């Protein structure tokens, strides 16, 4: 019963407060939002970049609403200091509403803080976060803009699309950084030769082609390795190209493993493929393999042939 009386008294006090201070409240709110509009005009006039302007104006609206709500609470508190429980109820209700409505905004802002602390990535990095792969071209307070690579385009080349991801994704997804710290990544190329081919000679040709590129950038690779080892516990047993031999269904598979800059992977694979094809064409004992079926005639002299499958 007492709580109902107290609530009715508090509501009556609130209505009386609004009636007596209506003009002051209207003027105060008008001033706050006029200042917000002035700030938005200044941003439009002097801040470069459409995205930055949009973010600043959006945050100014949030700030204006928060200031207006706080100002009303302070006015009410100065009007009726005795009604503290109801005031605390209003403040709690206000904070709960702000927390719910700005939950995603807060998460994105926390993600931005982590990114800017050099724990995630920076502009110019090539990253994959979730299912999105691209080059970072802009980091905002709430969202990060990527120039997409991959998808329907092979070998990590640009699709021409821009992808916007919320900064909060860094809190719930692994971030793969291709270029931060050590901008060389391992890549592989597979070459399949027939069982009848001189696979040792083929392996030598593939390895020579890979070393041709490695020798031209060996000093850069070693210098970056030394630099990154001072910062991270990174250990490579080797940095030079290496080949591996596998017996496949249709021939001998030669896999060459090599270091390449993240943004040069397709170009280097193209150079290696051209070099290997030209060298193989000069070798009578080497033939590229492809899926085949061997047929044998029963009841007579065995004959062998090949057919595409």
What confidence tens digit (pLDDT) does each residue in 86-101 have?
Answer: 555 555 555 555 556 5
CATH number for region 119-177: 2.30.30.60
CATH number for region 184-292: 3.30.70.100
- Tell me the per-residue pLDDT of 177-207, one tens digit each, with 9 for 90 and over: 888 767 788 889 999 999 999 999 999 999 9
- Predicted pLDDT at 308: 46
| Residue 283 to residue 232: CA distance in whole angstroms | 45
| Residue 218 to residue 215: CA distance in whole angstroms | 5
- Predicted pLDDT at 20: 66
Task: Say if CB 139 and CB 114 are below 8 A apart.
Answer: no
Instruction: Look at residues 31, 76, 38, 73 and name the one whose alpha carbon lies nearest to residue 56.
Output: 38
The dihedrals phi and psi of 26, each to the nearest 5 degrees, come to: -60, -45
For the chain, give every domain's residue range: 2-101, 119-177, 184-292
- Predicted pLDDT at 13: 59
| Residue 99 to residue 104: CA distance in whole angstroms | 9
- Predicted pLDDT at 205: 95
Q: How much of the chain, in percent, has pLDDT values that exceed 90?
A: 18
Alpha-carbon distance values, 140 to 51, 70, 126, 130 (Å): 8, 27, 17, 19
What residues have CB less than 8 Å from 117, skipping those under 6 apart? none
- Predicted pLDDT at 159: 84
pLDDT < 70 regions, the chain:
1-21, 51, 75-102, 118-119, 155, 181, 236-237, 294, 296, 299-309
- Predicted pLDDT at 200: 94
| SS3 readout for 285-306 | CCCECCCEEECCCCCCCCCCCE
- Predicted pLDDT at 19: 66
pTM of the model: 0.59
- Predicted pLDDT at 15: 63
- Predicted pLDDT at 216: 85
């Amino acid at each position: 019963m007492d709580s109902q009386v107290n609530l009715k008294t508090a509501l009556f006090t609130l209505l009386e407060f609004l009636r007596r201070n209506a003009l002051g409240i209207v003027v105060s709110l008008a001033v706050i939002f006029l200042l917000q509009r002035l700030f938005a005009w200044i941003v439009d006039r002097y801040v470069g970049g459409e995205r930055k302007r949009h973010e600043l104006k959006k945050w100014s609206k949030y700030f204006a609403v928060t200031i207006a709500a706080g100002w009303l609470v302070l006015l009410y508190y100065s009007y009726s200091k005795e009604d503290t429980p109801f005031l605390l109820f209003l403040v709690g209700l206000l904070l709960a509403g702000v927390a719910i409505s700005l939950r995603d905004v807060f998460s994105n802002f926390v993600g931005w803080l982590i990114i800017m602390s050099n724990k995630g990535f920076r502009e110019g990095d090539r990253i994959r976060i979730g299912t999105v792969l691209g080059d970072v071209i802009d980091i905002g307070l709430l969202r990060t803009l990527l120039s997409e690579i991959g998808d329907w385009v092979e070998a990590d080349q640009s699709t021409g699309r821009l992808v916007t991801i919320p900064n909060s994704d860094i809190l719930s997804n692994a971030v793969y950084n291709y270029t931060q710290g050590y901008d060389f990544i391992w890549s592989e190329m597979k070459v399949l030769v027939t069982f009848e081919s001189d696979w040792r000679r083929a392996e030598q040709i593939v390895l020579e082609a890979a070393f041709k590129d490695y020798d031209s950038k060996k000093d850069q690779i070693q210098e970056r390795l030394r630099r990154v080892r001072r910062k991270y516990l990174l250990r490579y047993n080797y940095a030079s190209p290496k080949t591996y031999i596998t017996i496949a269904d249709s021939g001998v598979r030669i896999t060459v493993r090599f270091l390449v800059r993240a943004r040069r992977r397709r170009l280097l694979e193209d150079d290696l493929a051209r070099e290997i094809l030209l060298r193989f064409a000069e070798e009578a004992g080497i033939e590229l393999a492809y899926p085949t079926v061997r047929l044998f005639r029963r009841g007579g002299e065995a004959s062998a042939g090949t057919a595409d499958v």
